[in-house]
Amino acid sequence: MSGKWDETVKYPAVEAEQEVTPVKKALTEVTIALEEKGYNPVNQLVGYLLSGDPTYITSHRNARNTIRKVERDEIIEELVRSYLRK
């Protein structure tokens, strides 16, 4: 017995994956601010994500307020999604 039920259906890519989400925008802005102040963005973001302490993020360019507008779990979700796409 063969037919269309034996084939795997490929789900079409969602266009929304390519758009700039609020999380991506916030991460980009915060990364720029951290780099401008001489910080390693990866280290600072990991510190923030693990602890929830916003003082890991500089207030330069309003980055601290920007990062606080996004939930930490949403940031982690976006980072994992981005990592798995590569």
**pLDDT band, very low/low/confident/very high, at 5 (cuts 50, 70, 90):** confident
pTM: 0.77
pLDDT tens, residue by residue, 39-75: 999 999 999 999 999 999 999 999 999 999 999 999 9
Question: For residue 4, is it within any domain?
Answer: no
d(CA 75, CA 48): 11
Question: For residue 5, is it within any domain?
Answer: no
Question: For residue 48, is it within any domain?
Answer: yes
Question: For residue 15, is it within any domain?
Answer: no
User: Residue type at 82?
Assistant: S
Q: How many domains does the chain have?
A: 1
In 3D space, the residue among 35, 54, 40, 45 whose CA is nearest the CA of residue 76 turns out to be 45
pLDDT tens, residue by residue, 14-45: 555 567 899 999 999 999 999 999 999 999 99
Of 12 and 6, the one with more pLDDT: 6
Q: Which domain holds residue 35?
A: 21-85
Backbone dihedral region for residue 28 (phi beyond 0: left; psi -120 to 50: alpha; all else: beta) = alpha
Kindly state the tokens that stand for 9: 């259906």
DSSP letter for 16, please: G
Radius of gyration of the chain (CA): 18
Question: For residue 7, is it within any domain?
Answer: no
Question: For residue 74, is it within any domain?
Answer: yes
Question: For residue 81, is it within any domain?
Answer: yes
